[in-house]
């Protein structure tokens, strides 16, 4: 198995995901990671003390690469366009780990640790996407929007796992379609709440999922 490095140090996260692709999540061995990286067990323990830490480290790495973009580059983009750009950046960052992520997805249904970690990471991701979109929603509507964004990402992620086209055409199309649907829903909701407001009822900003 090819070993990629960060500087002169083996990338333990990438080695771990490659091992998951090879053996499956349930048979992941931190001792084998140390063996393949040719490092002491203490080094693996320091970086990846348990399986949850592996998932957390990977997710935060992907989030960081997704968000490694200048605010200037986001200016002038609509909320939907911003989310589209950031999510595709995250999928690009996930490319080196795709086989390992496929293995994780296959085993997730029967593993509570994977499910819990996935939900936690998905919640953090949706919060950052909504923040970057700068929709101006209030707390209640933002909570709804985060759930919509999380659902969109989860659905598109499943498409990405099986999308082996060079340009990720299926993933691009699915993400665009889902975001357009969410944007249409947000526009309809705005209009509905404005009509209620004109009738004398309290209004609130509509959830914007893009």
Q: What is the pLDDT of residue 187?
A: 59
DSSP assignment, residue 4?
-
Q: How far apart are CA 160 and CA 94, in angstroms?
A: 10
Confidence band of 208 (pLDDT split at 50, 70, 90):
very low
pLDDT above 60: residue 198: no
35-48 exposure pattern, b = at least 16 Cβ within 10 A, e = fewer? ebbebeeebbeebb
| Gap between the terminal Cα atoms of the chain | 40
DSSP assignment, residue 69?
S
Fold classification of 51-198 is Tetracycline Repressor; domain 2 (1.10.357)
Specify the higher pLDDT residue, 19 or 201.
Answer: 19
pLDDT above 70: residue 1: no
- Over residues 66-93, the pLDDT tens digits come to 999 999 999 999 999 999 999 999 999 9
User: Whole-model pTM?
Assistant: 0.83
pLDDT above 70: residue 123: yes
Name the class of domain 1-49.
mainly alpha
Q: What is the pLDDT of residue 137?
A: 77
Share of the chain above pLDDT 90, in %: 73
Specify the higher pLDDT residue, 140 or 156.
Answer: 156
Q: How far apart are CA 85 and CA 108, in angstroms?
A: 27
29: Cα separation from own chain's centroid: 25
| Structure tokens given for 27 | 């048979």
pLDDT above 50: residue 134: yes
- Over residues 145-186, the pLDDT tens digits come to 999 999 999 999 999 999 999 899 999 999 999 999 988 876
HSE toward the beta carbon, residue 15, CA cutoff 13 A: 22
pLDDT above 50: residue 209: no
Q: How far apart are CA 41 and CA 31, in angstroms?
A: 7
Report domain extents, the chain: 1-49, 51-198
| Structure tokens given for 124 | 């953090």
Report phi then psi at 162, rounded to 5.
Answer: -100, 5
HSE toward the beta carbon, residue 25, CA cutoff 13 A: 22
When pLDDT is averaged across residues 39-68 and rounded to a whole number, the result is 97
pLDDT above 80: residue 197: no
């Amino acid at each position: 198995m090819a070993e990629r490095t960060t500087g002169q140090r083996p990338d333990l996260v990438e080695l771990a995901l490659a091992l998951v692709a090879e053996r499956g999540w349930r048979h992941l061995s931190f001792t084998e990671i140390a063996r393949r990286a040719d490092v002491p067990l203490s080094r693996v323990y320091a970086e990846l003390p348990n399986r949850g830490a592996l998932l957390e480290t990977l997710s935060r790495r992907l989030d960081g690469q997704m968000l490694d973009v200048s605010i200037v580059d986001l200016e002038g983009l609509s909320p939907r366009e911003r989310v589209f750009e950031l999510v595709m950046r995250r999928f690009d960052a996930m490319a080196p780990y795709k086989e390992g992520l496929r293995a994780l997805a296959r085993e997730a249904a029967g593993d509570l640790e994977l499910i819990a970690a996935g939900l936690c990471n998905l919640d953090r991701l949706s919060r950052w996407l909504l923040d970057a979109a700068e929709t101006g929603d209030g707390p209640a509507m933002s909570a709804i929007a985060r759930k919509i964004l999380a659902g969109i990402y989860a659905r598109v992620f499943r498409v990405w796992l099986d999308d082996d086209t060079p340009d990720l055409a299926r993933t691009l199309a699915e993400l665009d379609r889902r975001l357009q649907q969410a944007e249409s829903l947000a526009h309809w909701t705005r209009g509905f709440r404005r009509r209620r407001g004109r009738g004398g009822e309290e209004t609130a900003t509509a959830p914007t999922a893009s």
